[in-house]
Structure 1
């Protein structure tokens, strides 16, 4: 079974038995062929000249798929954990850039409350204990009238 060619730009390098690179070529597509036993990736250049072909046994291909899936799950976690100034960001899962923030604090003496604090990557939170900070967010935009 032959699947459609995937267009992109990249490169293919070849190496000798000592590990020294002996050539490279621009690649603008991959033609994928799959069977019950293997997946073959044919790297091609314009105008459709084959520069390299890699065959992978199906068991190995499944391991590669699983590794890529796990790698992408980690990337999704990182993407979800980016700082958003317009919502509460869980700390320390998300670390803010240097600046002033509204901060939700919890400690046994005072309970949960909101205060303001300055965060510095070098020094941490100013006037509050790092372990007491539960979440933070940017200041809301000022009200100038006429807006809802």
Structure 2
């Protein structure tokens, strides 16, 4: 399966992660179907933000209320691994529900996409998803904004 992400959303995720080298950043992925249109930054309210993330519950509830009111759907979330790899950790697997939601992970220059499932290939909880970038200025060229991303 391929999930597309707007170049603006991808840029926001990478910039947030680069601006926070000592703590995990996190946010929500909003859009429709398999298309991420917005990456909405959220406060990481974890007691240990250097090694763990927890999306601010108020932001999560607001996003779900917005979706019920006709706004974009909550497709999943993103978070960074400042001193790790852009792949789910065992701790991520412990925290993930097998609900099919998207997890985007960023570490350094690398951004990867995963779906939380019941019997995934990674830690028994995640399956890798192909992530394609869409540049609104060049909708026919999905790779045009991808050159800086892995």
Q: TM-score, length-normalised on structure 2?
A: 0.20
Whose relative contact order is higher, 1 or 2, with alpha carbons under 8 Å and at least 6 apart? Answer: 2
Report the TM-score, using the length of structure 1 for normalisation. 0.20
